[in-house]
Structure 1
Amino acid sequence: MKKSITTGLFLSLFLFFSCTKSDDFSIPDTVDPDPDAGVEVQDFMWKAMNFWYFWQTDVENLSDTKFPNTPEGSDVYTVFLASESDPGKFFDNKLLSSKDRFSFFSDDYVELTQSLAGISKSNGLMFGLARQNKNSSELYGYVQYIVPNSNASTKNIQRGDLFTGVNGTTLTDQNYIALLFGDNDTYTLNMADIVGENAEPNGTDIQLTKEVGLMEDPILLDEIIEIQDKKIGYLVYTGFINEYDEELNRVFGRFKASNVTDLVLDLRYNPGGSVNTAVLLSSMIYGTNSKDVFLKALYNEKYQKILDDNDTELRQFFTEKTGKGTAINTLSLDKVYILTTSGTASASELVINGLDPYMDVIQIGGTTRGKNEFSVTMVDDRDNNYIYSPERAGKINKKNNWAIQPLLGRNENAEGFSEFTSGLTPQVELLEDLSNLGVLGDLQEPFLAKAIELITGSSAKGVQKVEFPIETMTNSKMFTPLKDNMYVTDPPIIW
């Protein structure tokens, strides 16, 4: 029988393993480049990817036999690393599998790791972008929500507002990145209204400024709705950020104390984040039986062999406590209603998939993103197997500020299902309506109204024919350092 490794859920940890080997685990030695070649960043990237990358065996450049650990091999390796002077291009062009849609790099590991904690440089405006029509290159933006205590929260702009230009220039699929996500910290949005079938400028301009260090609490809204004989907990959750796990548990404590009978979990604008937080949230919804498997993690062939050789199976269970040791406030439900869009990704999908074997998960809205792999932040810290640890910041190569966020593996649920690269399809399809986006938490907001209708059996007044369905092309969170990542802060290390 294989040993099943479980976790102590420390703050910001996913999996931390006890002894199965007497020696400290370390990545095997590989070839080194010429130290004077100026390829330190590329060398770090290759070595980290060669051992950890989920598709390592699929990428010829990452083959264990590509560069023998000999003087001749070192010369060939140095030439290979120097073939791209830009480390970002080297990572994208030389090391990634064609199957990989999500691995990425950063030239500033501090900025990246801060984003994992919900800290970023932002004006607080969260928005989606869509085409004016299917064949148009022109885009419009629509406000999804505004982060409290941000620059945007001080301006006359709110959910559902539209814009078609920036600084007087019409948004297109060719210029929107430079206009909205470029180097300018301040820009002016040219606002719009629906005219006919398009969004047209209305003459109103709103100036916004990005501020350093904005902290976004992912618990955007939590309330209890009492209707008929039901007490419905409603939670708008915008990111799996483990720094807010205790606050999340307090919300469920309030739900539990109020005898909430049903839960509507709004993940429409949640692109993911911490796997550990996904486990905690799922335990708050379903239960804390530590014998129930929430997920099984699968890794690349190289690391999976190490696990198999140690007779080890990596599984994560529902849990009784948070990382700080606080008892989980669980609702012990047998049904949950989850609101989704194409912006619902990674850890959000993990919650849906992980809960599905145990309870009735009613998904309302659009098909999710389809991100079923997880990643980890890696930096130039060889002695820690390239895994970023804030306690080891002083050990990171001071000549190399780059980080990579490669996909390490895939999470299966208790039934072995993980194949949802095309997204998770809702049982109840519903598109957001440009003409009726609604106010979050309002009983007439179409998505919440549909969930209440299903819970109570009463017809929902807020649900009507969708006049202007939104087909989002991308959204503002895809241009943060974290993007739509599902991450672990410590991968499973066999010690």
Structure 2
Amino acid sequence: MKKRSTHLKRTVYCCAYLILLLIILSSCKKDKKKPDYPAGSNENINTWILDSLKRYYYWNEQLPADPNIGLSPKDFFNSVRNGADRFSYINIPNDAATVIPNNRNFGFDYVTVSDQNSTKIIGIIKLVLKDSPASRAGLKRGDYISKINGKTLTSANAQTLQEEILSSDRFSLGMAELNNNTWTDTRTIELAKGVILDQKEISKVMEINGKKIGYLYFLDFNGGLASSLGAVFSNFKNEGISNLILDLRYNSGGQVSEAAAICAMIAPNISFDKPFITYRGNKNGGTRTESIGTAATFDRTVNFNTLLQQNLGLSSVYILSTAATASASEVMINNLKPFIQVIQIGEKTRGKDEASFRIFDARNPKQVNWEMHPIIYKLFNAQGAGNYSAGIAPDVTENEINTLPLLPFGDEADPLVKVAIARITGKVAKSGISLNAKRSGGFQSGNILMDSRVQSAQRSMVITHR
């Protein structure tokens, strides 16, 4: 009886111990559960940001172990960004306070340069958007700027005055002309922000020395671009062009799907299943190769058979580039190479060999208004070539700013177009000989002090899908 009693006590003790252990473990689990932060608080938003980055971010394994989630969302995002990450960003759509501004709302881009032979500093209009405040004020490519907000441009204030433009809703430009090697101030114009619609392409067919040459310029790879270019490529095909000059000098990129669709209208022997692009992500995303057909039709704005009907089947393409050529434009250059000979003319590109897609709070109800575009993939072409973070170097180096005045896009005397035509027709272009050189004592471009288009390209992103 005594043994039975002892055994019973031991059983009771064991049960009590197990119950106590379960209570302790349960308590520990509750302690480890993430705190329930109030919706809209920095902690709540930053927890969502961090959880998203842990899943998608290319450098997710290098995220800080214990970041400060009490920071403002933008500061928090920047605090956890990898040191090798040059392009990821976060903002609230339609909230100007969270969006990095650029010149687009005014409708122009310009470069500030110094004279090789003097201390003269001048701004040169590179680009004027159609139906914009700049175009309505009469600005055109090649115009000269001497003053911004009444202040004469100098090497010391070139960047500061650009920042004044970006922080303003309205500002003034003092215009100038160069006649007989003398600069004269001409007029002052006021520009205010406006709504800018998508820009229409510029295209033409040139017949030079028996060669039919197509020329095509467009500003970005917005959704629906390839579909809108259908008529242009049909015209090129009907005209029987033998060569194409693709002007991407100021194109800072956009959608991979649009780049793939345009490639499908240029290169020979295209079929839906031909590999086009490889995405390499983190351990969660892995590596995947996408065909040109899948990539081109992902956004459902084009029919692949229609693209094939408009296909030019060219053996080579001439692509014009500058330091503002970025993102999906670089995808065009790099990913066309397995299909076709690419002759690149101009300057080294920006160097965006990475891609992102939009990450937003899809919960219902939505708790976070911020949206992210973190780097998610490294990009490679069908042959595995990529790693162009330092930019893609041209086959023929030519700087358009060395030849002034800047001419309209597609003009046969434009230095980049001129080199392409010379290559196509077999006539050697005298690269580097500028109109300036013929002006004794005239303005000759020296150092570039500020380039608003290049700065805008710095903030562009290759956009793909999940």
* Residue pair 2:111, 2:126 contacting (<8 A) in 1 also: no
Q: How does 1:219-230 map to 2 (within 5 A)?
A: 219=201, 221-230=202-211
Residue number among 73, 84, 87 corresponding to 1:87 in the alignment:
73
Deviation at 1:50, TM superposition (A): 1.5
Answer yes or no: is 1:181 the counterpart of 2:166.
yes
> Hey, what does 1:437 align to over in structure 2?
406
Deviation at 1:352, TM superposition (A): 0.6
> Hey, what does 1:71 align to over in structure 2?
none
- 1:237-258 deviations in whole A, cap 9, x for unaligned? 2101123321112211111111
How far apart, in 2, do the equivalents of 1:200 and 1:379 lie? 52
How far apart, in 1, do the equivalents of 2:377 and 2:384 lie? 14
Answer yes or no: is 1:407 the counterpart of 2:388.
no
Deviation at 1:58, TM superposition (A): 2.6
> Hey, what does 2:105 align to over in structure 1?
122
Gaps of 5+ in 1: 1-29, 68-76, 308-312, 383-394
Identity %: 28
> Hey, what does 1:19 align to over in structure 2?
none
> Hey, what does 2:224 align to over in structure 1?
243
Secondary structure at 2:433 match in 1: coil
Answer yes or no: is 1:99 the counterpart of 2:94.
no
Residue number among 359, 362, 370 corresponding to 1:378 in the alignment:
359
* Residue pair 1:286, 1:359 contacting (<8 A) in 2 also: yes
- Which one-letter code corresponds to 2:44 in the other structure? E
- Quick one: structure 1 residues 300 and 210, their matched pair in 2 at CA, closer, same or farther if it must change by over 3 Å? same
How far apart, in 2, do the equivalents of 1:297 and 1:401 lie? 28
Answer yes or no: is 1:254 the counterpart of 2:235.
yes
How far apart, in 2, do the equivalents of 1:54 and 1:423 lie? 20
How far apart, in 1, do the equivalents of 2:171 and 2:339 lie? 48
How far apart, in 1, do the equivalents of 2:51 and 2:34 lie? 9
Residue number among 284, 289, 313 corresponding to 1:314 in the alignment:
289
* Residue pair 2:350, 2:457 contacting (<8 A) in 1 also: no
What is the TM-score normalised by the length of structure 1? 0.75
- Which one-letter code corresponds to 1:35 in the other structure? Y
How far apart, in 1, do the equivalents of 2:318 and 2:457 lie? 30
Deviation at 1:473, TM superposition (A): 5.7
Q: How does 1:174-323 map to 2 (within 5 A)?
A: 174-182=159-167, 184-193=168-177, 202-212=185-195, 214-217=196-199, 219=201, 221-287=202-268, 288-304=270-286, 313-318=288-293, 323=301
- Quick one: structure 1 residues 123 and 325, their matched pair in 2 at CA, closer, same or farther if it must change by over 3 Å? same
> Hey, what does 1:14 align to over in structure 2?
none
How far apart, in 1, do the equivalents of 2:457 and 2:231 lie? 28
How far apart, in 1, do the equivalents of 2:207 and 2:140 lie? 26
- Quick one: structure 1 residues 131 and 436, their matched pair in 2 at CA, closer, same or farther if it must change by over 3 Å? closer
- Which one-letter code corresponds to 1:58 in the other structure? Q
Deviation at 1:234, TM superposition (A): 0.2
Relative contact order higher in (CA < 8 Å, ≥ 6 apart): 1
* Residue pair 1:293, 1:414 contacting (<8 A) in 2 also: yes
How far apart, in 2, do the equivalents of 1:107 and 1:465 lie? 46
The structure that is helix-richer by fraction is 2
Residue number among 141, 147, 150 corresponding to 1:159 in the alignment:
141
* Residue pair 2:273, 2:291 contacting (<8 A) in 1 also: no
* Residue pair 2:111, 2:125 contacting (<8 A) in 1 also: no
- 1:377-424 deviations in whole A, cap 9, x for unaligned? 222225xxxxxxxxxxxx572x53322211110111112111111111
> Hey, what does 2:24 align to over in structure 1?
none
Answer yes or no: is 1:484 the counterpart of 2:460.
yes
- Quick one: structure 1 residues 434 and 176, their matched pair in 2 at CA, closer, same or farther if it must change by over 3 Å? farther
How far apart, in 1, do the equivalents of 2:370 and 2:119 lie? 34
* Residue pair 2:265, 2:312 contacting (<8 A) in 1 also: yes
- 1:207-254 deviations in whole A, cap 9, x for unaligned? 112113x212252x1111112221111001210112332111221111
* Residue pair 1:478, 1:484 contacting (<8 A) in 2 also: no
> Hey, what does 1:46 align to over in structure 2?
50
Secondary structure at 2:291 match in 1: strand
> Hey, what does 2:424 align to over in structure 1?
455
Deviation at 1:129, TM superposition (A): 2.9
- Quick one: structure 1 residues 165 and 45, their matched pair in 2 at CA, closer, same or farther if it must change by over 3 Å? farther
Secondary structure at 2:174 match in 1: strand
> Considering only aligned residues, what root-mean-square deviation do their CA atoms show, in Å?
3.4
What is the TM-score normalised by the length of structure 2? 0.79
- 1:124-151 deviations in whole A, cap 9, x for unaligned? 11x23345379x9997532122111122
How far apart, in 2, do the equivalents of 1:335 and 1:325 lie? 24
Answer yes or no: is 1:421 the counterpart of 2:389.
yes
> Hey, what does 1:15 align to over in structure 2?
none
Secondary structure at 2:390 match in 1: coil
Secondary structure at 2:285 match in 1: helix
- Quick one: structure 1 residues 349 and 487, their matched pair in 2 at CA, closer, same or farther if it must change by over 3 Å? same
* Residue pair 1:375, 1:406 contacting (<8 A) in 2 also: yes
How far apart, in 2, do the equivalents of 1:243 and 1:236 lie? 16
- Which one-letter code corresponds to 2:187 in the other structure? T
- Quick one: structure 1 residues 405 and 173, their matched pair in 2 at CA, closer, same or farther if it must change by over 3 Å? farther
Structure whose alpha-carbon radius of gyration is higher = 2
Deviation at 1:277, TM superposition (A): 0.6
- 1:2-58 deviations in whole A, cap 9, x for unaligned? xxxxxxxxxxxxxxxxxxxxxxxxxxxx97444135433322221221211111123
Gaps of 5+ in 2: 1-31, 437-443
Deviation at 1:91, TM superposition (A): 1.1
> Hey, what does 1:337 align to over in structure 2?
318
- Quick one: structure 1 residues 317 and 81, their matched pair in 2 at CA, closer, same or farther if it must change by over 3 Å? same
Deviation at 1:194, TM superposition (A): 5.8
Deviation at 1:200, TM superposition (A): 6.5
Secondary structure at 1:291 match in 2: coil
- 1:174-221 deviations in whole A, cap 9, x for unaligned? 523431111x22211122456999x96725212112113x212252x1
